[in-house]
Structure 1
Amino acid sequence: MTSGKLVGRSAELDLLRAATAATPSVALVEGEAGIGKSRLVRELLTVPSGRRVLIGQCEQLQEPLPLSPLLDAFRQAGPALGGSLNPLTGALAPLLPELAAHLPAPPPALADPGADRHRVFRAAVALLGELGPLLLVLEDVHWADTVTFDFLAFLAAHLPPDLALVITARTEAGRLPIREALARAPSGAARVVGLHPLRPPEVAQLAGEILDAAPAPAFADRLYEKTGGIPFVVEEVLRTYLEAGRPDTLDDLAVPTALRDVVLHRLFSLDDDAREIVEAAAVVGRSTDDRLLAEVTGRDAATIARALAGAQGVGLLQEDGFRHALARQVVYESVPAARRRWLHLRTGRALESTGRSARLAHHYLRAGHHAEMATHAEAAAETAFAHGNDATAARFLLTALGADGVPQETRVRLAVKLGRAAVDGLAHAEALPIVARLLATERLPAAVRGELRFAHGRLLRQSGDARAGHLEIERAARDLAGAPALLGRALAVLAAPETVTDRHVREHLARCDEAAEAARRSGDPSVDLAVRITRSGLLLELGQPAGWPLVFDLLDGDDLRSAPREHARACLNWAQGALHAGRLDHAEALLASGRRVADQVEYLRIAVVLDLVTALVDHAAGRWDGLLDRARLMAEAHTAFGAASLDSRLLLGALLAAIGPAEEAADCFSDVIAVAERVGAAWPLISARTALARLLLTLDDAGAAADHARAAITQVRAKGIWVWGAEAVLCLVDAVGHTDEASTVVAELAAGLMGTDAPRARSALLAAQAVLAPGDADGLLVAARAVAGDAGLVYDQARATERLGSLRGVAGGEDLESALRLYGALHATRDIARVCRTMRLHNVPIPYPWRGGRPALGQTLSAQEHRVAVLAAAGRTNQEIATELFLSRRTVESHVSSALRKLGRTSRKDLTDDQLSR
């Protein structure tokens, strides 16, 4: 499998074109195996030059044939031979019997073999001159015999005037015998075009060409690491990846057969000593350490150096180790299992004095010495903790807990550490069953059980199971009565309102007060800080202005600055509260501060959520360029990160509800509702029901919209946070009109927002009141638009403007045009179409480029998008398309959405065969 587009070689291609443009000339294209030498030459030949092109290939034979690439090229020239040729060319007739009829008669044989060979060389040069203007390509000359090398040296000294010669050769084969001859040619030194491995961005680009979609950054980085940037290896790995059905990771892929054969051929070309040393190097690690290899293998330094040089010569190694991760993997897997274990044990023993706990844990694990492994894994985890790398610490602790023969006391200690590390280290999925099993099977002291339960509850919340996590932390709090510091932290977590549905805000406020008392009893400043952060965040979620002085005091104080992780977490939580209330100014400032601190301490877990909340703020602020693609990537990436997955899907659905297709948006919201109801996540459930209600209203299904709005309002009442419920109330009012039900719920909302600082909820309340008070509607909607506009809530502002224009009818043309332009800047095609319909209804002129309805974006569909769109137009479901094309359902959804966006359509029902004909 190869890419149709040459990636990362523009400079080299320009150099090769320049080298062959004028004649006579010689160009040498060189680089290691698989680097793309032949691919570069093929790209050169795609542009017609008006010259005849002959290509000769050297074969990898045990006894190479004299002049084989040259004779291979001449055979292609048969039809071009004719007329009066130089009689000297007849010397080639015995070597080319299939062309003998086109060549002059052979001259008499010479007694001196040297003279006879000289005549053949002169004849070949003469024939090349007769075939000019000519581009001669000789491939893989590193496999040529000595006679061919002698001829090329002769040719370089006697180049025909109309000949451009291109030679490809591997660098690992050593210095070509003709390099000096090519350098001293009378026509000028050969131009050398050296090819080097692709850089990481180029590997990502090549992967995108082959996969027909840009890979995720982590995927591209891992691909580069495994392949070393060698194009052939990249293509082989991706071919295997596609054949395996696009698994989530590259790590479990089998090594491509073609690549395995190449590596093993190189390995077994070495002598026994060198092969055993290279095998030991594969066990020791990707980089080579001469002294360590000497200790592991028992060989002397000279033998080690000779073996490594030989492996470098055949292309297995480079100066600092294996050429790429897959080469090491092939060599490692070729070593018999018993010898591998022995080599790992020898390596572990040799590394004991270094104190490198991580490497020691790895080697003792592979050697089957689990007790020693667990000791070193715990030490490695402690080192990772000390450097703030909780993710790495969690991995080591998981490894230690998975070992056989670890004492119960040690297992509990490791599990408690794992619980702390996994929350921040993104290892919750692996840690959950281990911690749960220890809680179920071990008799533990109350304080230890409480700490382990607290960790278990946080892991459950992290994985997305909000209700189970909350209940587990409540149980932990009972066990932690005698440990006030841990109790204070547990109660602070229980005070967070957005993660659980069946707890009223009064309970969260009470938990916050209890946490403050526990912090006071503990005397621990860090616990007091955690409680103060929680209290201020809770007030922000309630839209209470009193929360901001607490936030600013904490930001100005030394306590938060001296705890960078707490600082980053606090900024993220406050930014979310500010966003929910519609205070984008504070949300953006807090995100910037949180990101700066998180970057300084390399806080990996929070970086994921920072990116998500930044995208949510961009959505609210109307910065939608490229946001749909970001949302899709996050929705895919967060599937295993429960705490972020629901908000990611919510964002994707919100964008699709405005841009299309509506069916996919509804699927997103329905998925979030189903999961949020199951796990008891309050904010996502209320938001998803509200968003689905709004979408159903745009689809003229007022009854279903009212049902979802009522369900969301029921959750808001149960929670007691009306800042979260304003849009749901507006949806219900839009669905049922001026009724007693609408009047009651709007009054509830107004009472619930009394004294709050929540622009988003305030704008929605004013719009709802406008429906119920027709006489005051104009002024209320003007106020709703102003509130949203002043807060920078662009989409809310557009909707309020559209309402105002619809209310004013013919007199609202300016407002409708303003809404149209706001939606247009967002590329909100479904909203654009709706406003255009309203403008036609009121005989308001529609400005260009929206005249005529939906904008035609004029973007070309990719091949994969076209295939998917054709099947969608034929009425196939996403799952049916995924099955037929061997894609994931998510990928099909992405292609359908992209195709609709490029074609300017909002629903797959709008796709036609005429649009998709090619």
Structure 2
Amino acid sequence: MLRGRRREQETLDRLVRDVRSGQSRVLVLRGEAGAGKTALLDHLAEHAGGCQVVRAAGVELESEIAYASLQQLCAPLLGHLGAVPEPQRAALSIAFGLSTGNPPEALVLGLAVLHLLAEAAAERPLVCVVDDAQWVDRMSATILAFAARRLEAESVALVFAVRTPADDQTLRGLPELTVEGLADADARALLDSVLTSPVDDRVRDRIVAETRGNPLALLELPRGLTPAELAFGFGGRGSVPLAGRVEEGFQRRIAALPADSRRLLLTAALEPVGNVPLLWQALERLGIGPEAATAAESADLIEVGARMRFRHPLVRSAAWRCGHASELREVHRVLAEVTDPERDPDRRAWHRAHATLGFDDEVAAELERSAERALSRGGRSAGAAFLERAAELTLDPSRRADLLLRAARSRADAGSPELVPALLATVELVPLTPLQQARVERLRARVSFLTNPGASSVHALLAAARKLEGLDADGARETYLMAIGAAMYAGRLGGADDLRLAAEAAQGLPPSHSFAGRFLAALTTWAVSGHAAAAPELVRALESMNDREDLGLLWLAAPAAHEVFRIDLARQRAEQAIVFARRIGALSMLPTALTFRAGNLVMMGRFSDASGLLDECAAAAAATTIPTIPSAALTLAAYRGREREATELIERTRADARSRGQGRLIGLTAYAEAVLRNGLGQYEAALTAAREGVSYPDPAVYQWTLSELVEAAVRAGEPAVAADARDRLAVRTSAVGNDWALGAQALADALLDPSDEHFREAVARYGAAAMPVPQMRARLLYGEWLRRDNRRAEARAELRAAHDAFTTMGAEAFAERAGRELTATGEAVRARTPGAAVDLTAQEGQIARLAVAGRTNAEIAAALFLSPRTVEWHLRKVFTKLGIGSRRELKAALGDY
């Protein structure tokens, strides 16, 4: 019985009941070390009768090895791998080292894990337990969080235990249960159960207060202490973290064991998988017999069964810290000897590396091969860890510098730029070639830009680019692109001449036919000569962008595509970048790609899909220390039209932009506020916001906001302001002449000089550009003009279409505005639930539409990042709501939904 944990036990028991009834559940237990999270997971496993239980635990020693924890969890389920479709099955096989091939895309791998869990649960409800999630390797954490957010009706429970405080935000947003210290009465009772002699009540109260009711601390801290130590020892050590004091208690107990038992614990601590046969092989080579485990088990430090399991992770770290350096090397050496080089080459290389004292080029080369394998599987962090250790074992200074530079790049690509400066400082301890020194400066400047893409990084990037000239032309071009991009992002908060200086410096480079060369040339023209001169060059450059390494420049290419009104290119490049980033495990790129794709979906009226991508973006960004530009979140909030929520986000983002020196983000907040206020019919406020937005020519944002300014100024009775904005917009649209540009211009002309021709051209152009949101705004404005012109029947057709579309999208303010206008024509407005006339949820509506289109459950699951069983469950709910019994009846039942 767990003392004082009734609330937590009831929550876990309810979770098991839900899973047995066919639902899926996710729960994150958060608490400090020793709070009892593992005990609660044990309770869950013991009371999950009728369910199959699989367990994994993060291990600090393996936190850099890609997919280590995911493999632990999924290994017992691989018998169901045959039911997982290709290419998902191939992705899992490659990630787990069962086969070779191209690095698996994270999206495909996430779907594969989701499918594998669902298939296993079809046989018997499945409970997955992940302990010590703070030490789960980054790729495993990202994939498991991805699956957790998509579980619905598979009879799967996914329960994590994570130590607090923890920096990793990957699991944020999932249902949580905080495991706090015991209440005073329960804490005293637990303490009394281990006290070996009477203790003064005041001392007992002090122990309870200092441990804050932490169960493990209450059980472990008093062990081996005399009454005098109990009375006087706690007060003088209050500054030592509680986990550290508990670990010291375990160290004292380990120190009291026989030498062979201590060595057994050390070996088990360094063999993190708990592979008992392999562990016994290693112990045999060390001359240690099975009897050594008896003392450790008697001391309640370890359990020996199918797996070797420590009573608590702090026992593992205590055993590790108790080992002398020579003992650690010897144990690593033996573990390397007994690890199969064919089946587990990377773990063998890791053990060999830690068994080596001094330099060893052979082991360094083995580590480098492991790094290549890790990078090929998408494990950027793991690859960096192998490269760092390889550098430590490499004698040649120049070779060591190259390895560390590669490790630093991998750390930055993996989304851990905060780890790069220390690596670069180590690189600079040895004499460097001019090229190496230039690359160091470039990486340092890149980290500055990744962590704060604003004014502070422009000059460092420029200096690095100049040093690379004549040494690495491609590197110089890419660095100049970053410098120009940094100046663009700094915008109105940057130096007045930063953009021009960066562009003029870049013009001295020799021309190149690569994408980076063409893009740089186009951007320098844009910065020096203006939009009209650069537009054709920008279009040609963006059309030449391929789907590989060039996509690392999406953060700059996507705004450039919008600058020339090519939303089709922005969509294509964002989709390609998502696939590429997932394939290579580039977490530094993925959140940016997801953000731009979500913004494109907003313009297509797919608010639910955009919101889902933004959730995934938040999960990916949480696994990095790189801030994400919230452009799509701002646009989505503005179009949803929920005034308080949108205003709070806008104000919060504006304050953050000013503190970071990101002027373009100021422009984005002004644009979002102008959209929000226009939707709400607050035209004076929209006019003020739009004026702020166009006070600086931020790429893409400037012309979006010009359109908002025209509408706001016309409605606020400021025709001169509207005409000026229309004319400024015309300078840009005439230089491009595609459907989006001509649609925007036609609508601006229609607002100032209303005519059927202008309005109809705007509607048609936006339709041809596949931009439903601005198309429906054009129809709304057209309907409003028709009503004021007393053409009520024609007005109703436009207003009804806009109202229905905005309601379905979830654009609440614009839907209300259209509804008011429709009512003014004399037509009653039917109340509708956003998402569907038949009261389907957004997800049910998506699934129903795909089913009508002839997609199978598996195809729908892949398209919507769900399991096929969840799709089947949703379809049953759709059939019930519509009163039908099969897919054949769906099309007729949905009508025009």
Alignment TM-score, normalising by the size of structure 2: 0.58
Contact 2:170–2:619 (8 Å) recurs in 1: no
Give the corresponding residue for 1:169.
Answer: none
Give the corresponding residue for 1:124.
Answer: none
Q: 1:635 to 1:490 in 2, by over 3 A?
A: same
Give the corresponding residue for 1:753.
Answer: 733
Q: 1:39 to 1:429 in 2, by over 3 A?
A: same
Within the alignment, does 1:339 sit opposite 2:323 as a pair? yes
Report the CA distance between 1:846 and its aligned residue.
Answer: 1.3
Give the corresponding residue for 1:882.
Answer: none
Q: Match of 2:734, as an amino acid?
A: M
Q: Match of 1:248, as an amino acid?
A: Q
Contact 2:416–2:624 (8 Å) recurs in 1: no
Q: 1:825 to 1:458 in 2, by over 3 A?
A: same
Q: CA-to-partner distance for each residue in 1:85-108, whole Å, 9 max, x for gaps?
A: xxxxxxxxxxxxxxxxxxxxxxxx
Give the corresponding residue for 2:459.
Answer: 471
Q: CA-to-partner distance for each residue in 1:9-63, whole Å, 9 max, x for gaps?
A: 789789xxxxxxxxxxxxxxxxx96454545499xxxxxxxxxxxxxxxxxxxxx
Distance 1:746 1:206 in 2: 60
Q: Match of 1:709, as an amino acid?
A: A
Distance 2:125 2:654 in 1: 39
| Uncovered stretches (5+) of structure 2, i.e. residues with no partner | 1-7, 23-40, 52-119, 133-139, 150-154, 173-177, 182-213, 221-246, 842-897
Within the alignment, does 1:514 sit opposite 2:514 as a pair? no
1:725-744 alignment, distance < 5 Å: 725-730=705-710, 733-734=713-714, 736-744=716-724
Contact 1:504–1:719 (8 Å) recurs in 2: no
Distance 1:375 1:438 in 2: 21
Q: 1:571 to 1:721 in 2, by over 3 A?
A: closer
Q: Decide which of 761, 771, 792 is 1:783's aligned counterpart.
A: 761
Contact 1:677–1:685 (8 Å) recurs in 2: yes
Report the CA distance between 1:789 and its aligned residue.
Answer: 1.7
Distance 2:674 2:714 in 1: 10
Higher relative contact order (CA 8 A, sep 6+): 2
Give the corresponding residue for 2:412.
Answer: 423
Give the corresponding residue for 1:531.
Answer: 517
Q: Decide which of 384, 392, 401 is 2:382's aligned counterpart.
A: 392
Distance 1:375 1:261 in 2: 48
Distance 1:577 1:464 in 2: 20
Distance 1:307 1:245 in 2: 35
Q: CA-to-partner distance for each residue in 1:133-170, whole Å, 9 max, x for gaps?
A: xxxxxxxxxxxxxxxxxxxxxxxxxxxxxxxxxxxxxx
Report the CA distance between 1:383 and its aligned residue.
Answer: 4.4
Distance 2:665 2:454 in 1: 11
Within the alignment, does 1:793 sit opposite 2:759 as a pair? no
Contact 1:653–1:669 (8 Å) recurs in 2: yes
Within the alignment, does 1:691 sit opposite 2:672 as a pair? yes
Within the alignment, does 1:675 sit opposite 2:620 as a pair? no
Q: Decide which of 452, 474, 479 is 2:440's aligned counterpart.
A: 452
| Uncovered stretches (5+) of structure 1, i.e. residues with no partner | 15-31, 43-194, 208-214, 225-229, 520-524, 556-563, 860-918
- Secondary structure at the aligned position of 2:832 is classed as coil
Q: Match of 2:489, as an amino acid?
A: T
Alignment TM-score, normalising by the size of structure 1: 0.57
Give the corresponding residue for 1:804.
Answer: 782
Report the CA distance between 1:663 and its aligned residue.
Answer: 1.8
Q: Match of 1:804, as an amino acid?
A: Y
Report the CA distance between 1:820 and its aligned residue.
Answer: 0.5
Distance 2:284 2:570 in 1: 59
Report the CA distance between 1:698 and its aligned residue.
Answer: 4.2
Distance 1:701 1:11 in 2: 49
Distance 1:727 1:640 in 2: 37
Q: Decide which of 812, 822, 827 is 1:829's aligned counterpart.
A: 812
Within the alignment, does 1:494 sit opposite 2:488 as a pair? no
Contact 1:382–1:393 (8 Å) recurs in 2: no
Give the corresponding residue for 2:887.
Answer: none
Distance 1:575 1:469 in 2: 20
Q: Match of 1:420, as an amino acid?
A: R
Distance 1:199 1:582 in 2: 53
Contact 1:425–1:604 (8 Å) recurs in 2: yes
Contact 1:422–1:431 (8 Å) recurs in 2: yes
Distance 1:391 1:623 in 2: 34
Q: Which segment is superposed worse, 740-749 or 574-583?
A: 574-583
1:89-108 alignment, distance < 5 Å: none
Distance 1:574 1:702 in 2: 33
Give the corresponding residue for 1:657.
Answer: 638
1:265-304 alignment, distance < 5 Å: 277-288=264-275, 290=277, 294-295=281-282, 298-300=285-287, 303=290
Calculate the aligned-residue CA RMSD, in Å.
5.8
Contact 1:292–1:350 (8 Å) recurs in 2: no
Report the CA distance between 1:822 and its aligned residue.
Answer: 0.8
Report the CA distance between 1:595 and its aligned residue.
Answer: 4.4
Distance 2:714 2:326 in 1: 74
Structure with higher Rg: it is 1
Report the CA distance between 1:618 and its aligned residue.
Answer: 1.6
Q: Which segment is superposed worse, 581-590 or 764-773?
A: 581-590
Tell me the percent identity: 16
Distance 2:777 2:401 in 1: 56
Contact 2:577–2:590 (8 Å) recurs in 1: no
Q: CA-to-partner distance for each residue in 1:799-846, whole Å, 9 max, x for gaps?
A: 111111111115212111111011011122222222222223443321
Q: 1:463 to 1:806 in 2, by over 3 A?
A: same
Contact 2:260–2:292 (8 Å) recurs in 1: no
Distance 2:367 2:180 in 1: 30
Report the CA distance between 1:756 and its aligned residue.
Answer: 0.9
Distance 1:468 1:336 in 2: 43
Distance 1:297 1:232 in 2: 39
Q: Match of 2:517, as an amino acid?
A: V
Distance 1:409 1:205 in 2: 42
Q: Match of 1:744, as an amino acid?
A: D
Give the corresponding residue for 2:593.
Answer: 610
Give the corresponding residue for 2:137.
Answer: none
Distance 1:849 1:222 in 2: 32
Distance 1:469 1:294 in 2: 54
Report the CA distance between 1:349 and its aligned residue.
Answer: 3.5
Contact 1:460–1:469 (8 Å) recurs in 2: yes
Distance 2:641 2:389 in 1: 46
Q: 1:398 to 1:857 in 2, by over 3 A?
A: farther
Report the CA distance between 1:622 and its aligned residue.
Answer: 1.4
Q: CA-to-partner distance for each residue in 1:443-498, whole Å, 9 max, x for gaps?
A: 97764443222112211221233322222111112333441423233224335475
Q: Match of 1:427, as an amino acid?
A: S
Q: Match of 1:838, as an amino acid?
A: E
Distance 1:410 1:254 in 2: 50
Q: 1:657 to 1:352 in 2, by over 3 A?
A: same
Q: Match of 1:816, as an amino acid?
A: L
Q: Match of 1:786, as an amino acid?
A: A
Residues matched between the structures, number: 642
Q: Match of 1:705, as an amino acid?
A: A
- Secondary structure at the aligned position of 1:754 is classed as helix
Give the corresponding residue for 1:52.
Answer: none
Q: Match of 1:531, as an amino acid?
A: G
Distance 2:484 2:509 in 1: 8
Within the alignment, does 1:765 sit opposite 2:752 as a pair? no
- Secondary structure at the aligned position of 2:800 is classed as helix
- Secondary structure at the aligned position of 2:735 is classed as coil
Distance 1:822 1:750 in 2: 28
Q: Match of 1:793, as an amino acid?
A: M
Contact 1:657–1:665 (8 Å) recurs in 2: yes
Contact 2:364–2:389 (8 Å) recurs in 1: yes
Q: 1:633 to 1:768 in 2, by over 3 A?
A: same
Distance 1:360 1:253 in 2: 37
Distance 2:148 2:331 in 1: 28
Contact 1:582–1:758 (8 Å) recurs in 2: yes
Distance 1:511 1:683 in 2: 22
Report the CA distance between 1:373 and its aligned residue.
Answer: 11
Q: 1:303 to 1:219 in 2, by over 3 A?
A: same
